[in-house]
Amino acid sequence: MSLSPDLRGAIRGEISHHGGARGAMLEALRMIQQAHGWVSDAHLQEAAAILGVPQADLEGLATFYSLIFRKPVGETVILLCDGACCWLNGADAVRDALMARLGVGFGETTADGRYTLINIACVGGCNRAPAAVVGRDRALVGPLAPDRLDAVLGAPR
């Protein structure tokens, strides 16, 4: 699927806001991901052409930044904290329960395409540990418990 005319225009518009095309590269990737959920090879190629930057440079950024996705993700992305502060408050049991409920490991998407589970640290919710951030709004949820996963699974996309 190619980028919509609106999105192409929006990416072009970012150039002036970021001190030039190079400064707009990451924002372009974010905008593509916002619209399509992830960044495909074709999208990279198109965006590089719009910005007038080498495709390899754009791909270098896309692969460096852990929250730019280079393969399709589920409707809801769950960023589950695997840091020490969450571990001290029972994060391992939450992780195991979530993986069992979804049937996926870290970095994987459920067969029905609804959820992608990703481990991250730290989500800045150490006072609500074990914590996660969920969905497009990156809503902070916690404290989680193995028998209280609705905060994660019921959150808006």
From 40-48, 93-101, 125-133, 147-155, give the range in contact with other proteins by CB under 8 A.
125-133
Q: Name the residue nearer to other proteins (CB basis): 104 or 123.
A: 123
30 binds other proteins (CB under 8 A): yes
Name the minimum Å distance from CB 111 to other proteins: 26
100 binds other proteins (CB under 8 A): no
Q: Measured between alpha carbons, how far apart are the two ends of the chain, in Å?
A: 22
Applying CB under 8 A, among 4, 13, 49, 67 the residue interacting with other proteins is 67
Tokens of 28: 């372009």
Q: Which residues contact 88 (CB under 8 A, 6 or more apart)?
A: 129
Closest listed residue to residue 59, CA positions, set 74, 43, 73? 43
